[in-house]
Amino acid sequence: MRAAIDAGTPTRWRTSLPSRARPTTGRRPLRAAKFRYILNHMVQYMSTRLDASFAALSDPTRRGVVEQLGRADASITDLAEKFRMTLTGMKKHVVILEQAGLVTTKKIGRVRTCQLGPRRLEEETAWLERYRQRWDERFDELDKVVEELTRTERSNERKTRK
């Protein structure tokens, strides 16, 4: 059991600090807290794909590459020419898209061809839809408040006219 705990403890804490000098959380030593960190990391792993996708799509060039590949497969040379970039610069963009699973490449001879990857962005769409619904609900509530204030203001104007 101790080996499993030490395996999750960062090396710098295991080797550089004696056990009495290691930071603690409350009454428990740090080792017990590491289990919570590891479990939390496992939960956060689900959002790693979202982070990678949104990071990859945050750049307009990469969004353009995905849009271009949606029309037809293309070589990195063709993409670099279309976006007026160097081959090295385009390769870096393609690598980021590959890591996010949005693009795949295959090398045939000296030409590396890019195509859309297997991911369909379902998770990203579902995440966006959840927040869109929340914002719609909030704006609906805001509309109700504005309507009520407008009615109150109109009724106050009528009373002051009389």
Domain ranges for the chain: 2-46, 59-116, 120-162
pLDDT at residue 88, rounded to an integer:
95
Question: CATH top-level class for 59-116?
Answer: mainly alpha
pLDDT in single tens digits along all 162 residues of the chain: 444 444 554 444 444 444 544 555 555 555 554 444 445 555 555 578 888 999 999 999 999 999 999 999 999 999 999 999 999 999 999 999 999 999 999 998 999 999 998 888 888 888 899 989 999 999 999 999 999 999 998 888 877 776
The DSSP code for 111 is E
The helix (H) or strand (E) run that includes residue 12 is helix 11-16
**C-alpha span between 55 and 35 (Å, rounded):** 29
pLDDT at residue 2, rounded to an integer:
45
pLDDT at residue 4, rounded to an integer:
46
**Is this structure's pTM higher than 0.75?**
no
